[in-house]
Chains A and B, each alone.
Chain A
């Protein structure tokens, strides 16, 4: 009986203290995130707004902001009507993303399933498959890739072994982009690790039960693995597509956009316009269109996800 008044008394006492605590924790919270917040304003938000402004201007000099001349939608008009290079850049980038990303994920999933069998040597295999991913973005690998597909390079050397005549992989408009797609697929290591982690979370009882019911391997894959892994696949698809749209270094070093602009990727074209032709306004307009393309894709994948992504209901306590 004495417990109840004591409780209410302490609650009354706690109220102002809690308020003070809350105000204090507000301050502390902002102190802790202050570094990120400041950097976000200075190096992300303000540049974004500046970029949006530049995209409506003709801004070809670095001397002062006064040189930015308002031109309205002229940059965007030019992009979609007169600039044939822009259309080429867009189609090259989409071609690259449409082939490279699904292929990379297919390889990643296939190898993850092969490595998930618990046989000997899994650690070694995992390391070897992951190795290309950690060096894949480097200049060293880009330089190497140029030689792998060079006229006297590794691929031609290998084909000569089978009597196939040498080809100029990088100089041919039909094959140049494929050397970059192969390079992207070669780096399937990190999605493979993510899939591997996801596969290990699927209870083995599911497969055992399916086996008892006489399900085949393919059936088990379609009915158990794929639905249970779908959130992971979905998430990877978005993130990889987005990074695929921004690919720059490899094309810059390996093909330089050639031949006939078939590998002139979006990011590379922006770089050329901004830092080689110093057309900052036009480049900003292109960057904003890229942002909208990315936002559009992310939205489509997020929206459609409820149709095919299976989220297991969590029963955590």
Chain B
């Protein structure tokens, strides 16, 4: 059983093909030709790679340059002298609210939203994929349709509803909808549950385990890789979420990092470009750290669902 699951996770699809050992023995013309080919391949793909990540490198390098140097040396990637002044100046924030507050707000929102979304997505996914009930197909179709639903159709009545409940400037409008899980995650976990042999459920049922027990004792531990993938996506999307906080949070004290950055980088209010670059770069640091450590999960999630990430 274990072999089957790990073979699902370790499916060759999700893995880079074995690195082909390149022979440097140039005794045959064929090998020589191969080496030349390889050289041009890396020149082209590597060069394109550099173009792709260049704006991000530029952002980070500019954030480390002295303010007066940023626009004078636009094309220079390596600063003549490295300074962290921009980070110190930027962290002070605006209107007597420092980025400490904004990061706290973002962290609370992101962590709570992620935990809620991931747990309930797992629960709903189990219901859809392992329990037979009337209307299952219908509700599943409804759920998939919501993937294509423009948020603009629901956001206005939602706003009116939450404002009538006097819940503006609270976390309720941001967190309550998360209790239903998220269609994309439910779909992704369902794909994963499919790979778990049904015999496991049946064996547990014979031993007297109910559906709830099967979920908590068997499925939940086994779908952990899928849950991690969901957690990472959820973290990203909540961390970068802009529209929802923009609508519901109007008091600067409650701003998330995204909202704060928008006000902070307003060209009519702030011209300290060093500080703006520094705070922009800093907001991407958590994203990149998670990306480096969990890249494999992301690739897996995108590949199994075939949906965008």
- Residue ranges of A at the interface with B (Cβ–Cβ < 8 Å): 22, 25-33, 35-40, 43-44, 46-48, 50-51, 54, 62, 64, 111, 114-115, 117-123, 125-135, 137-141, 143-148, 152-154, 156-158, 161, 186, 190-191, 193-194, 196-198, 200-201, 232, 235-236, 239-240, 242-243, 245-246, 248-249, 252-253, 267, 270-271, 274-275, 280, 283-284, 286-288, 290-291, 294-295, 298
Q: Beyond A140-B284, A191-B308, is A287–B120 a contact (Cβ under 8 Å)?
A: no
Cβ-neighbour of B299 out of A126, A158, A271 (below 8 A): A126
Is B192 an interface residue when CB atoms closer than 8 A count as contact?
no
B150 cross-chain contacts in A, Cβ below 8 A: 242, 245-246, 267, 287, 290-291, 294
14 A-B residue contacts at CB 8 Å? A29-B136, A43-B158, A43-B176, A64-B164, A126-B299, A134-B236, A140-B261, A140-B283, A197-B302, A236-B306, A252-B242, A267-B152, A284-B153, A291-B153
B236 cross-chain contacts in A, Cβ below 8 A: 134
Please state if B152 and A246 are interface contacts (CB–CB under 8 Å): yes
B48 cross-chain contacts in A, Cβ below 8 A: 111
Is B20 an interface residue when CB atoms closer than 8 A count as contact?
yes
Q: Which residues in chain B, 229-254, are within 8 Å of chain A measured between CB atoms? A: 236-237, 239-240, 242-243, 247
Question: Could you give, for residues 54-98 of chain B, a 1 whenever the CB lies within 8 Å of some chain A CB and a 0 otherwise?
Answer: 111011000000000001001100000000000000000000000
Please state if B302 and A143 are interface contacts (CB–CB under 8 Å): no
Please state if A115 and B158 are interface contacts (CB–CB under 8 Å): no
- Residue ranges of B at the interface with A (Cβ–Cβ < 8 Å): 12-14, 16-20, 22, 38, 41-42, 44-46, 48-49, 52-56, 58-59, 71, 74-75, 120, 123-124, 126-128, 131-134, 136, 139, 142-143, 146-161, 163-164, 176-177, 179-181, 186, 210-212, 215, 236-237, 239-240, 242-243, 247, 257-259, 261-262, 265, 267, 273, 276-277, 279-281, 283-284, 287-288, 291, 295, 298-299, 302-303, 306-309
Distance A131 CA – B139 CA, assembled complex (angstroms):
35
Cβ-neighbour of A290 out of B12, B152, B179, B261 (below 8 A): B152
Cβ-neighbour of A51 out of B123, B154, B215, B247 (below 8 A): B154
Distance A38 CA – B181 CA, assembled complex (angstroms):
11
Distance A270 CA – B156 CA, assembled complex (angstroms):
10
Please state if B17 and A122 are interface contacts (CB–CB under 8 Å): yes
Distance A129 CA – B46 CA, assembled complex (angstroms):
10
Distance A243 CA – B148 CA, assembled complex (angstroms):
8
Distance A137 CA – B257 CA, assembled complex (angstroms):
14
Q: Beyond A47-B157, A249-B243, is A121–B42 a contact (Cβ under 8 Å)?
A: yes
Q: Beyond A54-B156, A137-B240, A152-B74, is A190–B132 a contact (Cβ under 8 Å)?
A: no
Please state if A44 and B179 are interface contacts (CB–CB under 8 Å): no
Cβ-neighbour of B19 out of A28, A46, A120, A146 (below 8 A): A120
Q: Beyond A135-B287, A193-B303, is A40–B142 a contact (Cβ under 8 Å)?
A: yes
Cβ-neighbour of A32 out of B45, B215, B243 (below 8 A): B215
Cβ-neighbour of A129 out of B49, B128, B148 (below 8 A): B49
Interchain nearest-CB distance for B1 vs A (Å)? 19
Chain A minimum-CB-distance residue to B127: A32
Distance A156 CA – B128 CA, assembled complex (angstroms):
53
Please state if A47 and B161 are interface contacts (CB–CB under 8 Å): yes
Please state if B56 and A131 are interface contacts (CB–CB under 8 Å): yes
Distance A191 CA – B186 CA, assembled complex (angstroms):
20
Distance A97 CA – B261 CA, assembled complex (angstroms):
27
Chain A minimum-CB-distance residue to B306: A194
Distance A112 CA – B235 CA, assembled complex (angstroms):
26
Interchain nearest-CB distance for A38 vs B (Å)? 7
Please state if A43 and B136 are interface contacts (CB–CB under 8 Å): no
Distance A120 CA – B42 CA, assembled complex (angstroms):
9
Interchain nearest-CB distance for B77 vs A (Å)? 10
Question: Sorted from nearest, which 5 A-B pairs have the closest CB atoms?
Answer: A39-B180, A32-B127, A29-B133, A157-B74, A197-B303
A46 cross-chain contacts in B, Cβ below 8 A: 157
Q: Beyond A43-B158, A62-B163, is A28–B133 a contact (Cβ under 8 Å)?
A: yes
Please state if A193 and B242 are interface contacts (CB–CB under 8 Å): no
